[in-house]
Structure 1
Amino acid sequence: MPGTGTDGRIGGMTDFDVRPVTEDERRGTLDLLGRSLHTNRISDESWARYGDSWPAAHKFGAFDGTTPIGIASSFDTDIAVPGGAVLPLGAVDGIGVRADRTRRGVLTAMMAVQLEDFVARGIPLAALHASEPTIYGRFGYGSAALGKTVWLPRPAARLHDRVPAAGDVRMLTPQEALAEIPGLYRRIGLHRAGMIGRPAEWWPIAHDRLAGPTGSHVVAVHSGPDGDDGFVVYDTVDRRTLESPDEGAVLKVRELHAADPVARAALWRFLLSIDLVSGVRARYRPVDEPLAAMLADHRHARTADVEDDLWLRPVDVAAALAARAYRAADPVVLAVTDRQLPANTGHYEVTPDGTHRTDAAADLALDADTLGMLYLGQWSATALAEAGRIEVRTPGAAARADELFTTVTAPWCGTHF
């Protein structure tokens, strides 16, 4: 049970214990995570400033005696699902194992305890950003949303004349960026499947550290008829060298959020108007964001990469399937297999009016990680079947599932964690 400790056993001997992290163990486990991700230990100054973003709640450590050798961290938030419902989410924000203790069952034990904790607390979905994509499928996580990296060269890239232009863009001081952006993000809302809420502990390390007085990032806000309705956070990278002394700087967009297309266009227009810049680079943008169509010459919107943006894990399959909306199509019965959480294993009938468990024969069979890929609408059942991830037991069932699960707008997270 979560909180009582889980032994890791190698050769019949107890090698480590997995248990909740205490208040006194917070810094040690954060240092462990940093080392596992090949970053420096946190300084006293940084810990004093940002330590509250690493609370002990919802953290499970693997310990050899009193020494931490692994950490599995998460925070509670919400996620938007297709149809507009918002569900509780366990956002997994830190998984690491000390380099000399990898491949000895530490990760498996921690992930099991974390999943059991989500179940015990009634959390239907879990999500993460995967540092190594090959790891998390075996724990039931599937790549559920993709993001693209776009490159817009300057001055060639410019918006065409018919793109709406309204409102004003203003740059914030660092103090204003700390005070105003959390409320503006809430006002914009979780308007796309895959977007997540940002609790209070998220902001100091993920936003304030970058955009505050000691950070290098710039924040600009768009205001429309009803007030502030969009913002962009970006950094500047100097590309000048001895060989290319006239090479302009690059604007690296960390995030851009807007309540509507007008605000979004205004923020892109602002970025493309900044002088002494050779280009704008933005990573993890929605794959269906129409940047190319917004430009006078669509060839100047270059997609440099497409990569996984969010991994999703159905923790309570029945609750997760029942919460999202479906398009009109004939029902399909899914046979779901969940090796980590066997209570999820069973047959589920999906209809335009909802879902329920059933004893009916399955039309499609899939594992929990593949359901995570299907759930937000990023991947079609047909594509997943062709990739060998879904077994088609009834001819035509994959096409029916395509129609049921398809979303008009691609899923997108847009939050670093």
Structure 2
Amino acid sequence: MTDIRVLTDEAQYRAHSTLFRRAMHWGPPTDEQWAVVLPSYEPGRVHAAFDGDEMVGTTQSYAGSMVVPGGAVVPHSAVSRVGVRADYTRRGVLTALMREQLSTLPDPVATLRASEGRIYGRFGYGLAGRVRYLQIDATKAVIPGSPTGRVRMVDPDTADKLLPELHDAFALDRPGQISRWAGWWARARDRKTEAENMVTIVHSGPDGDDGYLCYKVSEVKDFKHKMEIVDFVSSNADAWRDLWIYATRLDLVDTIEVDVALDDPLNWLFEDPRVVHTKEVFDEIWLRLADVPRMLAARTYGTAEPVVLEVQDALLPANSGAYRISPDGAERVDAAADITIPVDLLGAAYFGDTSFSQLAAAKRITGGRFDAADALFASPVAPRCSTFF
């Protein structure tokens, strides 16, 4: 029988890290790597599955907050390091881990990044937000006009202090965005490996610092260089435009790679929109409504006649039931349902990235009045997270 335990000490954390890495086909962490990883382990949020004394599965969460449609910010768990030892897969280990983690979660919502798209729907996670991966031809990227503010390059120590402040102030600007925890920033500060060549540019406008850009440049071959934008935060259109002017006018850069929200207007910044190429649209946010009543009440809704949703949640049955959604909010009711929907697909529709009509057309949900539900759950902006974990 699988036994789920909360881990408490560094030796257990290192075993947890090793098992997860092996599940991802990576080797165990070196001493140097472990020194970087250790601060990202949060006491009370690290679960492992055991068969006797053997650790056979892992999961973990990080405490933070998340923006929902309408701008409210709710407590959030970022779930990561989910893995099962190869000789224990398909034996219920992951189900036991997910059930225990979700049933004891202190936050009403969780998100994760899925290594495989088929895994997490059965645990109530729905694909709620996608991202657009872009490649920009910097040799032809012309932005008309001049900058309106000022940009400056900052040293790593200054970046360590300033970037968390700017992210907290400006980055929680659309549904799906999450706060960053201390362990996330601790890993971001590591400059001994992939972050060694990181450059940070800070933008200042009339009211002070209002955005930043972090990037790395690598030589592809024969003096051809690629810029990878790792982090981009701006509080207003002028800061956004000025930072892009800096990036596209940098010498010895031929291509720029970045990921953005589906509705990002970047193409229209350039004289020739064709300099921006969409390489891929891929899933980003997998959302789990751990407390359905609280999360339905947290967001705002569009204009339409009320709709009653019958929510089904096999893993957390307390969530199951009927909810009346109206422009005034959401409430639990004892009423006949217009739409019956499993909790993973409610998560998929929560930010408005997926519509009820689409789910109905695919025969994933049943009922009617899907147009009204679409209008109620619609969001004027596409969801985006921009924080990988």
What is the TM-score normalised by the length of structure 1? Answer: 0.90
The equivalent position to 1:260 in structure 2, one of 236, 260, 269, is 236
1:103 to 2:79 alignment: no
Of the three residues 162, 165, 190, the one matched with 1:209 is 190
Mapped contact 2:42–2:62 kept (Cα < 8 A): no
Q: Does the residue aligned with 1:238 lie in a helix, a strand or coil? A: strand
Counterpart of 1:293 (choices 264, 268, 287) is 268
Secondary structure, in 3 states, of the residue corresponding to 2:254? strand
Comparing 56-65 and 72-81, the one that deviates more: 56-65
Matches within 5 A, 1:17-416: 17-23=3-9, 24-118=11-105, 121=106, 123-161=107-145, 165-205=147-187, 207-210=188-191, 215-240=196-221, 245-246=222-223, 248-283=224-259, 285-391=260-366, 393-394=367-368, 397-416=369-388
CA displacement 1:121-154 (0-9 Å, x = unmatched): 3x21111111111100010000111100011112
Give, in whole Å, the separation in 1 of the partners of 2:86 and 2:241: 46
Larger mean CA deviation between 352-361 and 48-57 belongs to 48-57
Q: How many residues align?
A: 388
Cα deviation code 1:201-223 (max 9, x no counterpart): 22111x11259996222211111
Contact 2:171 2:234 in 1 (8 A): no
Normalised by the length of structure 2, the TM-score is 0.96
Which one-letter code corresponds to 1:32 in the other structure?
Answer: L
Per-residue CA deviation, residues 65-110 of structure 1 (Å, 9 max, x unaligned), is 3332111100111100000111111110210111222111111110
* CA distance, structure 2, for counterparts of residue 409 and residue 214 of structure 1: 31
Identity of aligned residues (%): 39
Question: How far, CA to CA, are the matches of 1:171 and 1:194 in structure 2?
Answer: 29
Aligned partners of 1:319, 1:58: CA distance in 2, in Å? 21
Contact 1:142 1:372 in 2 (8 A): yes
5+ long unaligned stretches in structure 1: 1-13
Q: In structure 2, do the counterparts of structure 1 residues 213 and 335 end up closer, same or farther at CA, with 3 Å as the change threshold?
A: closer
> Counterpart amino acid of 2:338?
D
What is the CA–CA distance in structure 2 between the aligned matches of 1:107 and 1:44, rounded to whole Å? 28
- Counterpart residue type for residue 258 of structure 2: A
C-alpha RMSD over aligned residues: 1.7
Contact 1:30/1:54 (CA < 8 Å) preserved in 2? no
CA distance in 1 between partners of 2:310 and 2:86 (Å): 38
| Runs of 4+ with >6 A deviation | 211-214
